[in-house]
Amino acid sequence: MYESLVEKLNPKGVDVNEVIQKLKDFSIETPSWGYSDAGTRFKVFHKPGSARNVFERIDDAAVVNKLTGAAPFIAIHIPWDKTKDYKELKEYAESKGITIGTVNPNLFQEDEYKYGSLTNTDDKIRQKAISHILECIEIMRETGAHRLSLWFGDGTNYPGQGDFVKRLHRMLEGLRSTYVSLRENDIMLIEYKFFEPAFYHTDIPDWGTAMLLAQKLGRNAKVLVDLGHHPLGTNIEQIVAILLSENRLGGFHFNDKKYADDDLTTGSINPYQLFLIFVELVKGGVGPSPHSKVSYTIDQSHCVKPNIEAMIQTINSIEIAYAKSLLVDFKALQEAQEENNVVKAEEILLDAYYEDVRLLISEARRQKGAEVDPLRALKASGYEERIVKERG
Amino acid sequence: MYESLVEKLNPKGVDVNEVIQKLKDFSIETPSWGYSDAGTRFKVFHKPGSARNVFERIDDAAVVNKLTGAAPFIAIHIPWDKTKDYKELKEYAESKGITIGTVNPNLFQEDEYKYGSLTNTDDKIRQKAISHILECIEIMRETGAHRLSLWFGDGTNYPGQGDFVKRLHRMLEGLRSTYVSLRENDIMLIEYKFFEPAFYHTDIPDWGTAMLLAQKLGRNAKVLVDLGHHPLGTNIEQIVAILLSENRLGGFHFNDKKYADDDLTTGSINPYQLFLIFVELVKGGVGPSPHSKVSYTIDQSHCVKPNIEAMIQTINSIEIAYAKSLLVDFKALQEAQEENNVVKAEEILLDAYYEDVRLLISEARRQKGAEVDPLRALKASGYEERIVKERG
Amino acid sequence: MYESLVEKLNPKGVDVNEVIQKLKDFSIETPSWGYSDAGTRFKVFHKPGSARNVFERIDDAAVVNKLTGAAPFIAIHIPWDKTKDYKELKEYAESKGITIGTVNPNLFQEDEYKYGSLTNTDDKIRQKAISHILECIEIMRETGAHRLSLWFGDGTNYPGQGDFVKRLHRMLEGLRSTYVSLRENDIMLIEYKFFEPAFYHTDIPDWGTAMLLAQKLGRNAKVLVDLGHHPLGTNIEQIVAILLSENRLGGFHFNDKKYADDDLTTGSINPYQLFLIFVELVKGGVGPSPHSKVSYTIDQSHCVKPNIEAMIQTINSIEIAYAKSLLVDFKALQEAQEENNVVKAEEILLDAYYEDVRLLISEARRQKGAEVDPLRALKASGYEERIVKERG
Amino acid sequence: MYESLVEKLNPKGVDVNEVIQKLKDFSIETPSWGYSDAGTRFKVFHKPGSARNVFERIDDAAVVNKLTGAAPFIAIHIPWDKTKDYKELKEYAESKGITIGTVNPNLFQEDEYKYGSLTNTDDKIRQKAISHILECIEIMRETGAHRLSLWFGDGTNYPGQGDFVKRLHRMLEGLRSTYVSLRENDIMLIEYKFFEPAFYHTDIPDWGTAMLLAQKLGRNAKVLVDLGHHPLGTNIEQIVAILLSENRLGGFHFNDKKYADDDLTTGSINPYQLFLIFVELVKGGVGPSPHSKVSYTIDQSHCVKPNIEAMIQTINSIEIAYAKSLLVDFKALQEAQEENNVVKAEEILLDAYYEDVRLLISEARRQKGAEVDPLRALKASGYEERIVKERG
């Protein structure tokens, strides 16, 4: 049937071999915290077999990478992944085929951060936050990671609680104190979020604020787009395109949402939107493994799905969106746009979207020696049963 | 200055004495869980002095009631407020001037409820949930409470995870199994919620579903309106009015929100909306202390505010909205509505809303022996310092 | 390649012939107003070739039906489609292969309806609205239509402007006055809408209110679901399933939206959601041509797309969603649901959704003598050029 | 009673005379289009007495200004307010006490703009748009206006219809072509809008994009904040504060909304939010009549309210919010913020908000010779009856 698909795509001008090559090259980063227990404010359900420390998380990430052939990076989160010897951690990861790509400081789970970390009115607490970020930059050096990914829970819950401008100025000042410690090819990713855990205002609510901070910091500061961090109805693909054109797109946190920041598995609510985002990335020249330029990081909360299965499903979903975007006839699209042929332009996108690309992905996996059906292979491997026994 | 206000209101046809009487009669229920630590999925910040058990919660509720003169009821939550002897609990509460008004079962924090409680496909888990509700009905008897307040975290996170209709039928069946154990003057409150903790669908997402269940159960089943459980832009006052006219309004969970179910203090984001809700209640004949008919219960998550202060502030906010609604000239309003005089009708509401009613509330408090400025009185009392010392 | 698809689907247990038969039987209703000029409050752009009267609209509908083989019904709107002799209209339509399925009264474009139609405080205006609905019921008799589709712009723009309850009671009273004139197999469809053109409150804002009215009217009153009439984040497929299970689902207005009631072409923003809706319909036993039970009506505003192309594209989009829903393995889905296997259940839906079903639709069209590629066939036919010339 | 209020405010540290002076100085701009018929996409209801041309609009604006003493500016819209001799228009306005403050080009109501104005792929259409803007800059010279207010309906309705980046680049290029024609003290206001009339994407969807354009243009380019142009849940006061601190806040379009861009009268849905916006303006040093720096322009669609009454009501509402913001004890607020006393900080705002400031506004009006109760004075004047007779 793969041949039948090739026969169908070739006349459309699709270079199937090139598509397969890009799918083989495609790589993504999974988050260490995606292998742990997760939940909501109402309840964290324990999942038997959840990874209990960074080494077990790397083990799980390595399984996901082995099965899919597409997840060679891991993002770590300090202090959740704290360990004594980060060089050892790096070596452990590498022995499993995993590279530590991104380091995430935690600036929201200390009692001191109740009223903000870098934006706090208390200089001691700001210094604590700065020190923690500097510690993470040090961990980047030791682990070979080049991306520092900053998300802040900072904000206020009530009118009057804080001064928007002073808080933002403190944020900038704090970022500057740490930005200067980055090396030439390090990237500082600034993540924005519309709401939560602060409910009245967040200090970096939107890409405009994140961009403003990045502009003031320098060219190594970039904006991170988490798909769940926008108000409903936002055209995220437009934000992606504009950030890319301004050379400020730093990376993604992939997930999906129905109403708020639900952190559901990517593409589970609106897979077409995911495709449209990849259309912008492909059009904007972002390659299949942009790692050092635009990080592709999964960030989900697997409340009811088994972690490893959820991660594999997510990679499937993202690869499907990516593969479809590779089928778009961009030349014809541009022509249709120029003549304002709305129906034709949309049909060009839909022609790619309606295609069943799963055989292309299977073929790419086959060629690179990964599993054609990773979910099934996971079941067959007995890995899940094993970790349940070992980890409880 | 109170006299000056009376002079101003009398010519408008406001019977100030009647307003004062209603404000004196006004009573509300505070939730036991509002006196404990609270937080978001990212962090629960410990507050020194937080109540550690139901007795301490009653102590705090009694302080709030003493200071405001308006909060004689408490809602309890099982198992958070579990105790050996509920008769003793009742007596303890009464000795402090507090009546246990509502019992809330917990149907979302057991591992078994990961995929639903009453809607679970597993009969054993449904039976467990039913047993827990029946236990709460038994606690109602022992504590003298007459309201069973049901909120379910039930729902699904992904398309396909559950069957909407079968789940709702199981919900109905489960509710029926417990409804029959209610006594003549007991009320079953069915709460709806648009989303969270289930993100793709909740089994009772809106008042329409809650109403449908109530209709099928019988006249003692009513709908509970939590102000934070609607999509943005919802006209909540309309829902309140329609439920009231259908004799299905059972009660409230008062709070406020900016985007999602933020559980902020009531009226902190849109106090005008709170006023408009009270306008419907007053127009619909709901008295100042509807207790047995329409429960006025506060349900908030005091993430960054001290619990007792937050509760007092909330009562202030609600009393202000209520007092303003008592100033509305409903006769003139109806006339303006009948002649479609939009500006005049709105001005009638605004004339009441713009009034500074704080002196009316002070006067009512003075007359009933409560504190004129309960926040200041709390500070002066040293209660907060005392509980910090005692409870840590 | 069709054979290759059949080979792929057969082992999955899909009875391809049955699927093809259902796709052949699939039928939908297009709206007469979809063939006219459309726009926003800012501008209505004239489209050369737009139909100028009901006969031209039927001509266009007949072309759409001929090309797609799936749109034999038309919904008419009075007075936009007013004509002297409705029997003649019926015959004209039938001569073109078109059946008049639904009659829509207009209760929002007369100056008198500024403050409401059936909900107006003025008895004369209410009577005018009732008379107009009765006129439409008469037109149903003359045209052989069996569905009366009621949408009201009724509502208010400001707090205080109207009395929610009195307005709803007047609505019910008005509906009753007309419901009694329906015949045994006529259906009254009651449409709800969250907002617009009234902005503060609409008299029938949600399915709960529409259902309440339907319950009070009788079994021939049903609820119409317009996909654009919900707040963002609403799980529409759940509403569809619940209404169906309560025997109150009357029909659809198909379209799509990004933020408000955008009336974009169906499936253009979230095609997965459209699929999930059809999954509920197929599971609930709604056949491919439910006409007399559940009306499938398109309701869009073709602001920037040519009307006929937009309509064909929409039918493609809907048939694709429907075809995919027919591939779902409902038995396996139910099993996965019963064992709470979230990933498996979702994969079962996705396995159907990811399939490229366009060849199935082509085959069905080929078998029933319609065009395999109706958009291309439209271009080739020269119809669009012809109407531009004739109609200007 | 005014004395009683003064007695109450003085001990709080409020300099009542200063407040009165600011209220006397307060000035706002009404929009010429607010005196005409208005409606929704479903119906524009004719209002007897609506102004039919720019001279009648100025007459109405003059009445509003005379009655309120606070609306000396008018914003005009070309071509709706097109006239032969703009010098004559200026003189006519001045003779009525009205200054033309802002000129608004219309870039959305020509057939050519169906697919965009400055962003159009067609160079001729872009040139047409540029010419029209240049025409408006010329009108600014002739009328003495110093603000050019740009709102674009530009955007797309469907995925694929346009290229986000190319469109934005064309927008920038077009703006540049006209920016250079501005004089030293002219301001170019760039308005953003989240959606509508384009539904899939708008070319300037948010303040981030407007700011980006302004940065690239120069220091005379500023951002205009229309209160209705954000997704629900947006913290508008934060955007205002940040823009102000970046010296990019150019002005407002005042209105209110329940769900979409409803253009309801300002403060009619959430008056507390309006107050919070003024709190930021006052804190940020924006004076009562910022005219040349930050324009205060009303932009509403009076669908169901009489135009002149709606405008007066709006000015009342805005002055009330402004007056309350003047009562805020900013010093105490800052202290509470610095010590993270959330309750105290909020209470400081609420203490100002709960105050009934209507007597302050009356006093200011009395002192400056305007009407104490402008709505009543309008009725008494017979102006509305007169224009109904004259204009029909």
Q: CA C55, CA C83: separation in Å to the nearest integer?
A: 9
pLDDT of A292 reads 82
Instruction: Tell whether the model's pLDDT for residue B292 goes beyond 90.
Output: no
Mutation target among D113, D163, D192, D201 for the A interface, most CBs of A within 10 A: D163
Segment B311-333, tens digit of pLDDT: 999 999 999 999 999 999 999 99
What is the reported pLDDT for D112?
96
Cβ of residue D313 closer than 8 Å to a chain B Cβ: yes
- Report the gap between the CA of D75 and the closest CA in chain C (Å): 18
> pLDDT band at D1, cuts 50/70/90?
confident
**How many angstroms separate the most distant Cα atoms in chain A?**
66
**What is the percent of chain A where pLDDT is above 70?**
100
Mean of pLDDT over chain A: 97
- For A:249-278, CB contacts with C below 8 A are 258-259, 268-273
Say yes or no for a CB contact (<8 Å) between A121 and D209: no
pLDDT computed for residue C285 by the predictor? 96
Report pLDDT for B276. Answer: 98
Which distant-in-sequence residues (6+ apart) come within 8 Å of A159 by Cβ?
A200, B268, B269, D237, D272, D276, D346, D349
* C26-328 homologous superfamily: Divalent-metal-dependent TIM barrel enzymes (3.20.20.150)
Q: What percentage of chain D has pLDDT greater than the value 70? A: 100
Read off the pLDDT band of B17 (50, 70, 90): very high
CB C204 within 8 Å of CB C171: yes
Which candidate in B157, B165, B168, B234 is best for mutational testing of the C interface (most C CBs within 10 A)?
B165
Chain A residues in contact with B108 (beta carbon < 8 A) = 42-43
Chain D CA closest to residue A210: D208
Q: Residue A1 has what pLDDT?
A: 75
Nearest chain A residue to D212, by CA: A208
The string of pLDDT tens digits covering residues C26-46 is: 999 999 999 999 999 999 999
| Cβ–Cβ < 8 Å for A71, A311 | yes
CB contact under 8 A, A310 and C343: yes
Query: Would the CB atoms of C40 and D196 count as touching at under 8 Å?
Result: yes
Residues of C in contact with A272 (CB under 8 A): 269-272
Q: Which residues of D touch C259 (CB under 8 A)?
A: 194-196, 199, 231, 260
Size of interface A-C (CB pairs under 8 A): 65
pLDDT greater than 80 at residue B145: yes
Give the SS3 label for residue B230. Answer: coil
Average pLDDT for residues A257-269, to the nearest whole number?
A: 97
**pLDDT, chain C, mean:** 97
Determine, for residues B268 and D313 on separate chains, whether the beta-carbon distance falls below 8 Å.
no
pLDDT value at D292 more than 90: no
B19-73 per-position pLDDT tens digit: 999 999 999 999 999 999 999 999 999 999 999 999 999 999 999 999 999 999 9
Mean pLDDT of C122-135: 98
DSSP letters, C31-88, are EGGGGS-EE-SS-EE--TT---SHHHHHHHHHHHHHHHS---EEEEEETTT--S-HHH
| Residue with the larger pLDDT of the pair D289 and C192 | C192
State the pLDDT confidence band at D4, using cuts at 50, 70 and 90: confident
- Percent of chain C clearing pLDDT 90 (strictly above): 97
Which residues of C are less than 8 Å from D114 in CB distance? Answer: 45, 304
The CA distance from C19 to C22, in Å, is 5
Band of residue A266 on the pLDDT scale cut at 50, 70, 90: very high
D349-392 pLDDT, tens per residue?
A: 999 999 999 999 999 999 999 999 999 999 999 999 999 999 98
Residue C346: its H or E element: helix C342-353
User: How near does any CA of chain D get to the CA of A235, in Å?
Assistant: 6
Between A337 and A3, name the one with better pLDDT. Answer: A337
Average pLDDT over residues A253-271: 98
Test A109 with B257 for CB contact under 8 angstroms.
Answer: no
Chain A: closest CA distance from residue D335 (Å): 10
Q: Do the Cβ atoms of B269 and D269 come within 8 Å?
A: no
Percent of chain C with pLDDT over 70: 100
Structure confidence at residue C291 as a pLDDT band (50, 70, 90): confident
Give residue-wise pLDDT tens across range A137-186.
Answer: 999 999 999 999 999 999 999 999 999 999 999 999 999 999 999 999 99
Rounded Cα distance, C242 and D44, in Å: 37
Residues C270 and C258: their CA atoms lie apart, in Å, by 9
Q: Which residue has the tokens 């598995």?
A: A265
Contact between C257 and D199 using a beta-carbon 8 Å cutoff: yes
What is the distance in angstroms between the Cα of D130 and the nearest Cα belonging to chain A? Answer: 19
pLDDT of residue D231: 98
pLDDT value at position C1? 75
**Record: contact C232-A235, CB cut-off 8 A:** no
The pLDDT value given to residue D91 = 98
pLDDT average, residue stretch D287-315:
95
Q: Is the pLDDT of residue D32 over 90?
A: yes
- Out of B190-204, C279-293, D127-141, least confident range: C279-293
Share of chain D above pLDDT 90, in %: 97
Which are the contacts of B105, defined by CB distance < 8 A and separation ≥ 6?
A: B78, B132, B133, B135, B136, B148, B150
d(CA D173, CA A234): 25
Chains touching C by CB (3 or more pairs below 8 Å): A, B, D
Terminal Cα distance for chain B, rounded: 43
> Chain D contacts of C45, Cβ < 8 Å?
111, 114
Is there a contact between B349 and B334 (Cβ–Cβ < 8 Å)? Answer: no
For residue A291, what pLDDT is reported?
84
Instruction: State the residue for tokens 């009115």.
Output: A121
Q: What is the 3-state secondary structure (H, E, C) of chain D?
A: CHHHHHHHHHHHCCCHHHHHHHHHHCCCEEEHHHHCCEECCCCEECCCCCCCCHHHHHHHHHHHHHHHCCCCEEEEEECCCCCCCHHHHHHHHHHCCCEEEEEEECCCCCHHHHHCCCCCCCHHHHHHHHHHHHHHHHHHHHHCCCEEEECCCCEECCCCCCCHHHHHHHHHHHHHHHHCCCCCCCEEEEECCCCCCCCCEECCCCHHHHHHHHHHHCCCEEEEEECCCCCCCCCHHHHHHHHHHCCCEEEEEECECCCCCCCECCCCCCHHHHHHHHHHHHHCCCCCCCCCCCEEEECCCCCCCCHHHHHHHHHHHHHHHHHHHHCCCHHHHHHHHHCCCHHHHHHHHHHHHHCCCHHHHHHHHHHHCCCCCHHHHHHHHCHHHHHHHHHC
CA-CA-CA-CA torsion sign (B336, B341, B342, B344):
negative
What confidence category does residue A346 fall into, taking pLDDT thresholds of 50, 70 and 90? Answer: very high
Q: Give yes or no for residue B291 having a pLDDT over 90.
A: no
Q: Across residues D257-263, what is the average pLDDT?
A: 97
| E strand spans, chain A | 29-31, 38-39, 44-45, 73-78, 99-105, 147-150, 155-156, 187-191, 201-202, 221-226, 249-254, 295-298
Count Cα atoms within 13 angstroms, Cβ side, for C162. 26
Cβ atoms of A375 and A312 closer than 8 Å = yes
pLDDT tens readout for residues C79-111 = 999 999 999 999 999 999 999 999 999 999 999
Average pLDDT, whole number, for chain B?
97
Residue B177: how many CA atoms within 13 Å on its side-chain side? Answer: 17
Query: C235 and B338: CB-CB below 8 Å?
Result: no
Query: pTM of the full predicted structure?
Result: 0.98
Give CA separation, C213 vs B24, B115, B240, C205, in Å.
39, 34, 17, 12
Q: What tens digit of pLDDT does each residue of A297-316 get?
A: 999 999 999 999 999 999 99
> Among residues A286, A221, A236, which one has the least CA distance to residue A266?
A236
- Would you tell me how many other CB atoms lie within 10 Å of the CB of residue A17? 9
The answer to whether the Cβ–Cβ distance between D232 and B235 falls below 8 Å is: no
CATH class of D26-327: alpha beta
Positive or negative, the CA dihedral B153, B154, B155, B160 is positive
Residue D373 near chain B (CB below 8 Å): no
Give the Cα separation of C244 and C250 in Å (integer).
Answer: 8
Interface size B-D, in CB pairs within 8 Å, comes to 63
Contacts of C309 in chain A (CB under 8 A): 343
For the segment D92-148, what is each residue's pLDDT rounded down to a tens digit?
Answer: 999 999 999 999 999 999 999 999 999 999 999 999 999 999 999 999 999 999 999
The token pair that represents B252 in the structure block: 């409230």
pLDDT at D197: 98
Amino acid at D33: W
Q: Is A4 on the interface with C (CB under 8 A)?
A: yes
Q: Does A169 contact chain B (CB < 8 Å)?
A: no
**Interstrand relation of D44-45 and C99-105 (parallel, antiparallel or unpaired):** unpaired
